[in-house]
A and B are shown apart, each in its own frame.
Chain A
Amino acid sequence: MLKISGVHTFYGHIEALKGVDIEVNEGEIVTLIGANGAGKSTLLMTICGTPRARSGSIVFNGRDIAQMPTYEIMRLGIAQSPEGRRIFPRMSVMENLRMGAITSQPQFFDADLERVFAIFPRLKERAQQRGGTLSGGEQQMLAIARALMSRPRLLLLDEPSLGLAPLIVRQIFEIIREINREQGMTVFLVEQNANHALKLAHRGYVLVNGVVTLSGTGQELLSNAEVRAAYLEGGH
């Protein structure tokens, strides 16, 4: 479904991605783990065309999207819950969700809204509250819900567990599993919380300084000595 080959991304002269190859198949949950500054968020943003890959190809459902404008890429059925959540602060929860739905057909809106409210009942209670005044956890829920409103075929999640209480983290991971299982939605998940992420994912990649150093099934990576030393032990 998504095939990233030899992607290089620069910020000015800084090379953040140094030839990344990653593949995500239809129906999978694939996770990308890596230390701070490894380039994980950069990769998710590069998939969306902002910043643009300087070289390499990004093929989504048979089309090379590497040079497409961002809004066109997103209209192909990709949605992202980005780093920092990026909730529109001066819009209500409801309006944020409406923004999420702009690429989908209007007739789906009510049903989709009901679906995300069923997943995140908290958002329903807060429907008229301004995005900027939500708590961090509520904003995270809203960011995921907003991404779901577009009915994406590929969902990109950037550290959905960041700053959340352990109970909510477990809930969010459970929700990702459900969405994937029940709706067959493909998920590409960036996580610091490697333990959770690798248990959840079918496959995973490890990114170090803009290069993929390891890949394998979630179980393989969980039992890999390097991964354990770098991302699992001493943490979580």
Chain B
Amino acid sequence: MEWLFELFHQVNYELPKFVQFLIVGLTLGSIYGLIAIGYTMVYGIIGMINFAHGDIYMIGAFQAMIVLLICGTLGISWVPLQLLLMLVVAVALTAAYGWSVERIAYRPLRGTQRLAPLISAIGMSIFLQNYVQLVQGPRPKPVEPVISGGVTVLTRADGFVAQLGYLQIVIVLLTVALMAGFTLLITRTSLGRAQRACEQDMKMASLLGVNVDRTISLTFVMGAGLAAVAGMMVTLYWGNNDFHMGFNAGIKAFTAAVLGGIGSLPGAMLGGVLIGLIEAFWSGYFTAEYKDVAAFSILVLVLIFRPTGLLGRPEVEKV
């Protein structure tokens, strides 16, 4: 019995830290998951990795930040209204960016070699970064916290407290709601059905009267919209936007999509949460210095040992 008592003590001592990392991991995971959906959907429908997607997320973050600043100058200080305006404006404008990127950089190259759109995507990524650097300046932009405070979940004898911030609650709940809504959209609506049909057999979809180009455009619009929500969340969470922020987040979200199984929607969500948790626990228990290395190592390991990811389907299929 002695050892059991000892173990209980140990767990009790470790628990607050663990819970804190869990909360942080789920918050980060929500953000990565929302971005990852854009990667996975675009890959699913046109088999292309949209390297500019991380930068679309960055654009979303900047839009959200600008709306917040405008709210400040206009004297709009009621937080729910601020959040709503950020959400609506950032999603709408960023979706327009997503749509334009597809129209300008990818659609003209459809049907050519597979490499051409990838190179075009890298070009688009560089363009978006430079554009924001030019108009917003290279320095990180601090953003005043909008939602602060939280509840204490656990307290340890030595004074360490595990906090659940109100913002973290908002982020996780909004993500869950968006993902539920999005799952319904894909599985139940005619638009979602058309998207899945295009994924499985684009030519047949067009033979049934689906406007494939429009469906692809809408896929980019949706992916960009979700990335904009992630950008808004990160603006509120870290409040330190710079033109380069899409790179790191993009690679992590891409890793999440690959980990979950690229092309799989539940996979992207699961992958996002896992990458968020891995990053939080890695930084907590080891060192924050190498947290990015952890995510990238996972990308490499998944690609070597399980390229189809956790929920991806194997390539062979009876048709």
Contacts and interface: CB of A to CB of B under 8 A. Distances in A.
For A87, A90, A98, A132, the residue with the greatest tally of chain B CB atoms inside 10 Å of its CB is A90
A133 B318 contact: yes
Contacts of B313: 90
Interface string A70-87: 110011000110100011
Given A132-B317, A132-B318, A132-B319, A88 B212 contact: no
B200 A90 contact: yes
B317 A99 contact: no
Interface in B20-78: none
B304 interface: no
B14 interface: no
A230 interface: no
Nearest to B199: A90
B196 interface: yes
Given A89-B317, A95-B193, A133-B318, A103 B208 contact: yes
Given A71-B212, A98-B190, A133-B318, A88 B196 contact: yes
A103 B313 CA distance: 30
Contacts of A132: 317-319
B318 A99 contact: no
Nearest to B204: A86
Contacts of B194: 99, 102
Where chain B touches its partner, the secondary structure class is helix
B205 interface: yes
By CB atoms of chain B within 10 A, which of A48, A86, A103 has the most? A86
A100 interface: yes
A79 B194 CA distance: 17
Contacts of A25: none
B208 A150 contact: yes
A71 B209 contact: yes
A48 B210 CA distance: 13
A99 B203 contact: no
Interface in B174-208: 190, 193-194, 196-197, 200-201, 203-208
B203 A50 contact: yes
Contacts of A88: 196-197, 200-201, 204
A33 to B, nearest CB: 22
A101 to B, nearest CB: 9
Contacts of A70: 206-207
Given A86-B201, A91-B196, A74 B319 contact: no
Contact of A82 (B190, B193, B197, B207): B207
Nearest to A76: B209
B207 A48 contact: yes
B193, B194, B212: which has the most chain A beta carbons within 10 Å?
Answer: B193
Given A88-B200, A89-B319, A71 B193 contact: no
Nearest to A48: B207
A150 B200 contact: no
A100 B208 CA distance: 6
Contacts of B200: 88-91
B112 to A, nearest CB: 14
B206 A50 contact: yes
B211 interface: yes
A8 interface: no
B210 A82 contact: no
Interface string A125-150: 00000001100000000000010001
Interface of B: 190, 193-194, 196-197, 200-201, 203-212, 313, 317-319
The 6 closest A-B pairs by CB, nearest first: A103-B209, A74-B209, A86-B204, A70-B206, A88-B200, A71-B211
Given A88-B204, A100-B208, 5 more contacts: A50-B207, A87-B319, A90-B200, A91-B197, A102-B190
8 contacts: A71-B211, A74-B208, A74-B209, A79-B208, A88-B197, A91-B196, A91-B200, A98-B193
